[in-house]
Amino acid sequence: MPDSLEKERPAPLAKAPRPQPTTCDPVTLEIVRGAIRAAQAEMEALIERTAISAFIREKKDFYTAVFDADGVMAVGSNLPVFGDICGPVFRDFPPDTMLEGDLYWYNDCYGSRGAVSHSNDQVLLAPVFHDGRRCGFVMGWAHFSDIGGLRAGSISPDTTDIFQEGIIVPPTKLIDAGHTNEATLKIFFRNSRFPEQNVGDMRALMASAALGVRRIADIVARFGADVVADALRQLLARTRNLVRAKLAETFDYGTHRFTDAIDSDGHGNGPFHIRLALTRERGPDGRDRFIFDATETDDQSPGPVNLLLNPDVPGTASRRAGHGARHVLSRRRCVPGVQCRRPAGARRGAAARGLAAVAEVPGTARHARPHPDALPRRGERPHKRSRRQGAGRSLGLCHLLHARHLPRR
């Protein structure tokens, strides 16, 4: 072709950039859901294959989860989460101050308000960023074999307070914008009888969090931050509607009660009863409301029972099902007209959407306190519903959905 003709050919038009969608369609929703679930499962596989201790490799005492940009759980494993995982970190490190490459760590049972049930459980939480925008969080959680304390393994039947169970780590920034606080890790490892195990387990947990950050960032880069955020909102709404439908199928209107007990705390005390009531009623908006009430539960045990249930725990459960549901600090069995406080972690300010949890006063079995003023002597059973501040952790939450109209003990 002559050079003159080649020069006269007009330049091709530049392609206009396609606008990014802001909502997630049904097909993309399932793809995003599968991708996030696969990322979460890959995080767990990394922990299982690279950790050292038998608690993690054999007992499978670990799990991972993915949260949205506000710290609401979107995808988790089959191992139950005890409370508000992100809230303890957010109280000391506001999300808007977080940077890409940060990693946060804690194991404080009482400081986390029930997010972990004993000090052996270590929680690592990392924010996920894309193009400078916070898009979510990933979490790795695992039971470490020994963190000091009264006996090897840190959990002993003769303990009477939390300080006998090893080193307590409040919410701490372990990695600051990519720079690891090695001195903090040295202090933690030095307090263990088996430091090599803890070194290996911590490396596995940190690697899992880093993997989760990369995988979620890749998903956001592929689909767009707005689409992924909308997908997580839709998944939470799907969960809320499913839980409400199952509750409506299972329980008629009125109050349904269930009681379970543990025989002893190992110190000669007991039995300790957890008494739950579920009330289904019609709300002011004409929709059903479900109220969980544990105010008739016995005092916490003086000895060590492995589960601390703070008011944040039922509040977190109801938020997962109701996404903004309330819980009430009250001894009443219903909440109409009762002033409700906003639970820690409900950062969207959403109103209650049909689910509430009624938590008891401090000092009962489900609302343990860390510092005892008056402990019963060995063999003495605590008085029901006293305000004694027991030292042991509290009893496990019964599965109320599996029991209907059972007699109260």
Residue 384's pLDDT is 41
Q: How far apart are CA 380 and CA 271, in angstroms?
A: 11
In the structure encoding, which two tokens stand for residue 204, read together? 């596995």
Measured N-to-C along each axis, helices 182-190 and 195-223 cross at an angle, to the nearest 10 degrees, of 140
Q: How would you class 264 by CB atoms within 10 Å of its CB: exposed for 0-12, middle for 13-18, buried for 19 or more?
A: middle
| Omega of the bond leading into 95 within 30 degrees of 0 (cis) | no
C-alpha 376/C-alpha 366 separation (Å) is 18
Looking at residue 108, its pLDDT comes to 92
As given in the structure block, the two tokens for residue 309 are: 């249930």
Residues 124, 174 contacting (CB under 8 angstroms): yes
Phi, psi of 236 (to 5 degrees): -65, -40
| Listed residue (326, 324, 330, 327) closest to 350, CA to CA | 324
Say how far apart CA 71 and CA 83 lie, in whole Å.
12
The tens place of each residue's pLDDT in the chain, 409 residues long, gives 555 555 566 666 555 555 666 789 999 999 999 999 999 999 999 999 999 999 999 999 999 999 999 998 888 876 655 678 999 999 999 999 999 999 999 999 888 877 888 899 999 999 999 999 999 999 999 999 999 999 988 888 888 888 999 999 999 999 999 999 999 999 999 999 999 999 999 999 999 999 999 999 999 999 999 999 999 999 999 988 998 899 999 999 999 999 999 888 888 888 988 888 999 999 888 889 988 888 888 877 888 887 666 666 655 554 444 433 322 322 222 222 222 222 232 222 222 234 455 544 343 333 344 544 434 444 444 444 333 333 333 333 323 333 333 333 3
- Residue 32's pLDDT is 96
Kindly report the pTM of this predicted structure. 0.75
Confidence at residue 355, expressed as pLDDT on a 0 to 100 scale: 47
For residue 328, the number of C-alpha atoms closer than 13 Å in the C-beta half-sphere is 20
Contacts of 134 (CB under 8 A, 6+ apart): 69, 95, 98, 127, 128
For the stretch 91-97, contacts whose Cβ atoms lie closer than 8 Å and that sit 24 or more positions apart, written own/partner, are 91/171, 91/344, 92/170, 92/171, 93/171, 93/173, 95/69, 95/70, 95/71, 95/127, 95/134
Closest CA to 239 of 72, 63, 25: 72
